[in-house]
Amino acid sequence: MSGETSIPPAEAALLLGIPEDEARELAGPDGGVPPQALLGRAGTTVLELARELARAREEAGRLSGQLKEIRAANLRLQGELKAGTGERRRLTEEVLELRAAAEERLMLMERIERIAGIEGELSEAEAELERLRSRGLLARLLNRP
């Protein structure tokens, strides 16, 4: 190889993406990197890149599968959340209805207690009236013979 066809180590380092010291190791007797060494090293680099690309594709496929699983789980959880929200709303309405029924029952019980009190007073008044009648006191009070 003549000096015209070789590439300076600095340029070879840039082309191959390696440190300049490594490129100097590839250099021939004229101090330049021969095209065959450059192609051989570039081939190795391309092979490494192809392997890395294959790993990246595999990882992307794995992540894509995980993303699909996560999206499916997310949809399922959103459905459960919606159903749970509907159930909570239904239960809240039921609790409010039960509270209203309990308040109504309480008012009815208070009325019943008042009626029972009035009935008790009426019963006492009737008993007192009957005692007065039985004694004839009522007739005397009313001036009846």
For 1-20, the pLDDT digits (tens) are 444 578 888 888 888 888 88
Q: Report yes or no: 7 and 15 within 8 Å, Cβ to Cβ.
A: yes
CA–CA distance, 48 with 50 (Å, rounded to integer): 5
Higher pLDDT, 22 or 49: 22
In a domain, 13, yes or no: no
Structural domain containing residue 115? 34-141
In a domain, 16, yes or no: no
Please tell me the predicted confidence (pLDDT) of residue 138.
61
Structure tokens at 128: 């007192």
Higher pLDDT, 46 or 92: 92
In a domain, 11, yes or no: no
Task: Give the lowest-confidence range in 34-43, 88-97, 124-133.
Answer: 34-43
Total domains, the chain: 1
In a domain, 74, yes or no: yes
Q: Provide the strand spans (E) within the chain.
A: none
Mean of pLDDT over the chain: 87
In a domain, 49, yes or no: yes
In a domain, 1, yes or no: no
In a domain, 48, yes or no: yes
Give helix then strand counts, H and E, for the chain: 4, 0
Please tell me the predicted confidence (pLDDT) of residue 3.
44
DSSP 6: S
Higher pLDDT, 61 or 141: 61
In a domain, 56, yes or no: yes
Share of the chain above pLDDT 70, in %: 90
